[in-house]
Chain A
Amino acid sequence: MGNKQTIFTPEQLDAYQDCTFFTRKEILRLFYRYRDLAPQLVPLDYTDKPDVTLPYELIGSMPELKDNPFRQRIAEVFSEDGDGNMTLDDFLDMFSVLSEMAPRDLKAYYAFKIYDFNNDDYICKSDLEKTVNKLTRNELTPEEVRLVCEKVIYEADLDNDGKLSLEDFQHMIIRAPDFLSTFHIRI
């Protein structure tokens, strides 16, 4: 118990519990996971909100993310500066969205951001190509990739503008049977 008090104040913990989908225990566990990435950088006392940022190299080396083809995107989307360098808040944010309890809409919103590689708020062909290539490790021929991308746009593009907006994406993803079960990371 004494340990808990020194890291966060009870108010901080309560606030974190309100802002994430985690219980107190999980928040502390996440904190330790975060700290284990760089014990020399992260202090054990967060009551006065130290300004600590871990570089992407450390975040991306977590076993939960290590094998994920989209790890860099995930880190970029959730980091404050957009380069994948994360504070503890970003870190909690990330795993809160990717936790089991997060609602479909929230997940869909962030999934959209993750797949939107060039940050233009549309998933366009180049984003789709990147996604396919990451998913298949460039195993498909360019024609196949092109075909797949065309099919995706044909299927999901409701307003026919040749790229997927957030609404198109949500419309599509909300029906996907596996989206909730696959778009989450347990920690």
Chain B
Amino acid sequence: MATEIEAAGIEIDGQVESDTQSEEDEGKEKTSKKQPRRETVRASRLERKKPQRDKEDESKEEHNCPRQNRASRRKTHQKKNGDGKKAEVKERDKKASTKDQKNSENKEKKTNKKGKEGENKQKKGRKNSTSSESSNSFDEESLSEEELAMLMEQVEQRKKLISAMRNKPWRMVKKLSVLREAQAFVEKFEGALGKGKGKKLYAYKMMMAKKWVKFKRDFDNFKTQCIPWEMKIKEVESHFGSSVASYFIFLRWMYGVNLVLFGLIFGLVIIPEVLMGMPYGSMPRKTVPRAEQATAMDFSVLWDFEGYIKYSALFYGYYNNQRTIGWLKYRLPMAYFMVGISVFGYSLMVVIRSMARNANESTADGEDDNFIFSWKMFTSWDYLIGNPETADNKFASITTSFKESIVDEQESNKDENIHLRRFLRVLANILIICCLCGSGYLIYFVVKRSQTFSKMQNVGWYERNEVEIVMSLLGMFCPPLFETIAALENYHPRIGLKWQLGRIFALFLGNLYTFLLALMDDVNEKLDEEDVVKNITRWMLLGHHNSSMGNSSADTPPSLDPADVPRGPCWETTVGIEFVRLTVSDILVTYVTILVGDFIRACFVRFVNYCWCWDLEAGFPSYAEFDISGNVLGLVFNQGMIWMGSFYAPGLVGINVLRLLTSMYFQCWAVMSSNVPHERVFKASKSNNFYMGLLLLILFLSLLPVAYTIMSLPPSFDCGPFSGKKRMYEVIQETIELDFPLFIAKIFSYVANPGLIIPAILLMVLAIYYLNAVSEAYQRANAELKKKMQMQREEDKNKRNNKTNNNSMMQDLEDLLAPSTKIEIYPKQAEGKKIESPDQVIPFGKQGKAEVLNGSPMSGGRRAVLIPPPHLLVTRPPTPGIWAPYSYADKPWPGAHPLGLVPGRGRGHPCYSHAAR
């Protein structure tokens, strides 16, 4: 593909080159007088008969001035050589055969242009030049179609050129002038294309296309303006390199996703409920119970998300199970359920899409390890760095990486005391597994304890928040601990980072799932409790009813005040509250950590340094580095909690949006004010998909518990939109039965039949299997091709070396055996060279130069051969010196040039094109 594009580019390139050339040459041509006059005449004729014009132009031009064109072409070559446009020249040589075609095209174009110009000039006096056209007028009809197509093609080409202008490696001045020209050409001719009825349509289409391009451009301008925090991130990037910036870009992306989720939940669930649902206090589930009312507005209670907050639209329990609400007949339970599902659906889609995009980008790179040093040399400098400190670090890291590679290269098989290292690694892993188990158990223990606390009255602040505090502390202290242990292992830093990430991930995951399991226990307990309460409620209501019946004979029983109705534990709200608390405490811990760990530390180091006994900035506390992996993992897990909790606490996403918004500003500020760039500046390009993969994993893992609760736990009987149903998903069945026509219900029932679902799943599994097999086959083929390329390359190298060797040996032999034959060989070759040289060396000046530079021995040898006259060589005894063989070996080449058999280039190129594809 790439080669094709390149070829196309060069084609256009060439044509434009000669266009400009033609313009430059125009002055000269005019002095010769012949050409322009003919053209003007022709142009005036063409003015009337457009279709005819081009064809004739072309033919005449072809006949009349091929020489001139060739001259100008050559001039172009030379000019290019002067410009140092090496690549183009080379390409041109290679495509010698296609070149001519192109040049003829160029000619056409040029003539067209000239014709056009002439036309302009002749517009005033066109009447006097009607004589000559009659001769050609008879064949105009037959040619016009073809011509039109050609003209159209040219216009298209120009347009392509205009759109590809920015990809050209030219100076701006040239780009501008070429652009202007091409635009003028398009302007001129696109309106003229098409005739009769089609003409107007065509012009209209062109106009619309132009408008459309303009609109698109404006829209793009607008879009780039809408991306938030671009400058902020750019600033961070220039100070800390792309790896730190990747965290902020990730954060921004996350913010976007959460904003969409927030819109979904607020727009479709919370706002309808607030606007159209029954107001606060109208029913038991929307009222604070009597016992809690006294303290319901206390801050300490609100802070725990009890009291009024617990009985608000932020949590599951507040929603009513009315099928429709308000005058819109909005089906809220249905909407609640669908939004809960679509939150997951949307997130899944977005994550997978961005992963796929990243993967597409990264597969193009491949993972060759053929170019370790080259890549280090040419791509290790990050041009984004605009800060001396970062630059210092980068210099240092590049130096060390070079040194590392050198050491690797020099002694790849040196490994001292492998047993000790293995032992240490095993030890480290055991220690870390112990840590993980310990932290898991700790959390389980704490959650269990909190359940007993929650049954007791007046417990302290610590007891109430124990779980959160312990989890946050674990999250704070375990990663550094892991890092310390990882020092034992002595891995390469990059591998070490992966291990570290994996371990922290395992820790967080373990903690989260322990927390979930404990929560499940809690929920089961609550479910048992609920049965009891259900009976009590029924009895109480019955009793109340009876008593009221006894008191007054009114038909409507005076309803019990909603605050007094006994109610179940509502496990959904409890789960929601747990998640909200966890999120909030996580936010606070993160911010406090940043404030204390980064800002206060930075202030301390900065200001106490004046009166301290050692250098604080360089020594022990120093400034903090920005912990990318920890921050990204924190963000990922936070998102997991949001996903899990959002079904039971619709307000959670709102909290998260706020959190992301503030942390964008806060962390940007903290990074800029109190962090120092990494000592080991590493790049972010690869780890990006790694983060996305983690996010996907978390998404899947957070989907599991929610799906489990939806599918297999009965909802509470007196709170939430699904109360009164056996399972939450029954809301779908209900909607289908009541709101859809019968046959749709039937279709659904058929579709939901296991007999249909299982084959569908099977089919999908098979499809996955098949696609997987196909992709594996492709990969294998890819690897095979790669290997082949490598082989070919090696072969080429060997062949080339052998050739020089062989040739030199042959020549040695010749030297020794038959000095007399030389007499004949030498003059011939010298002659050949002389004949060749005007053709070869002058037009391909670059190449000649290249060969001169190619290696002084070769060229020196050649010159040495050329300079002395033949007869001298005859008289002299043959001297098989060190360099003499090269000269002989070199000889066949110049002769081979015109045939395109230059060994080095000829073989080097296919490799390149293979690779480019």
Chain A positions within 8 Å of B, measured between CB atoms, are: 15, 17-21, 23-25, 63-64, 66-70, 80, 89-90, 92-93, 96-98, 102-103, 105-106, 109-111, 115, 119-122, 124, 128, 131-132, 135-137, 139-140, 144, 147-148, 151-152, 155-156, 158-162, 165-179, 181-186
Contact = CB atoms under 8 A, between A and B. Distances in A.
B383 A24 contact: no
Interface in B804-855: 846, 849-850, 853-855
Contacts of A17: 217
Given A105-B167, A109-B169, A119-B84, A160 B796 contact: yes
Nearest to B914: A171
Counting from the closest, the 6 A-B pairs by CB-CB distance are A89-B172, A159-B908, A67-B391, A159-B904, A177-B365, A151-B373
B608 interface: no
Contact of B685 (A136, A148, A178, A184): A178
Contact of A155 (B374, B800, B855): B374
B234 A152 contact: no
B629 to A, nearest CB: 19
A155 B221 contact: no
A90 B170 CA distance: 10
A137 B370 CA distance: 26
Nearest to B9: A105
B interface: dominant SS: helix
A65 to B, nearest CB: 8
B98 interface: no
In the complex, which of the residues B172, B380, B797 has the most CB atoms of chain A within 10 Å of its own CB atom?
Answer: B172
B180 to A, nearest CB: 7
B685 A177 contact: yes
B377 A182 contact: no
B386 A67 contact: yes
A89 B381 contact: no
B904 A155 contact: no
B642 to A, nearest CB: 30
B237 interface: yes
B179 A135 contact: no
Q: Which of A67, A80, A156, A168 has most chain B Cβ within 10 Å?
A: A67
A23 B216 CA distance: 12
Interface string B215-239: 0010011001100000000100110
B378 A158 contact: no
A67 B389 CA distance: 9
B800 A175 contact: no
A172 B370 CA distance: 9
Contact of A176 (B362, B379, B384): B379
B905 to A, nearest CB: 6
Contact of A135 (B84, B381, B793): B381
Contacts of B367: 177
B911 A158 contact: yes
Contacts of B459: none
A28 to B, nearest CB: 11
Given A18-B162, A105-B2, A177-B685, A136 B386 contact: no
A89 B171 contact: yes
A178 B682 CA distance: 11
Interface of B: 2, 6, 84, 86-87, 90, 162-163, 165-169, 171-173, 175-176, 179-180, 217, 220-221, 224-225, 234, 237-238, 242, 362, 365-368, 370-375, 377-388, 390-391, 395, 398-399, 402-403, 406, 409, 683-686, 793, 796-797, 800-801, 846, 849-850, 853-855, 904-905, 907-909, 911-912, 915-916
Given A68-B385, A105-B167, A106-B169, A128 B377 contact: yes
B781 to A, nearest CB: 18
Contact of A136 (B163, B382, B395, B796): B395
B379 A148 contact: no
22 contacts: A19-B172, A64-B386, A67-B390, A68-B383, A80-B173, A105-B2, A109-B87, A120-B849, A136-B402, A140-B402, A156-B374, A161-B855, A166-B87, A169-B378, A170-B912, A172-B371, A176-B375, A178-B379, A181-B382, A181-B684, A181-B685, A182-B683
Given A15-B176, A17-B217, A25-B221, A68 B87 contact: no
B238 A167 contact: no
Contacts of A170: 912, 916
A62 to B, nearest CB: 9
Given A15-B180, A67-B390, 20 more contacts: A15-B176, A15-B179, A25-B224, A68-B385, A80-B171, A89-B171, A102-B166, A102-B167, A121-B84, A159-B796, A161-B854, A171-B911, A172-B374, A174-B915, A175-B915, A178-B380, A179-B375, A181-B683, A184-B384, A185-B383
Contacts of A140: 399, 402-403
A174 to B, nearest CB: 7
Contacts of B685: 177-178, 181
Nearest to A94: B172
B908 A158 contact: yes
Contacts of B383: 68, 98, 182-185
Which of A70, A136, A159, A170 gathers the greatest number of chain B CB atoms within 10 Å?
Answer: A159
Nearest to A171: B912
Contacts of B850: 121-122
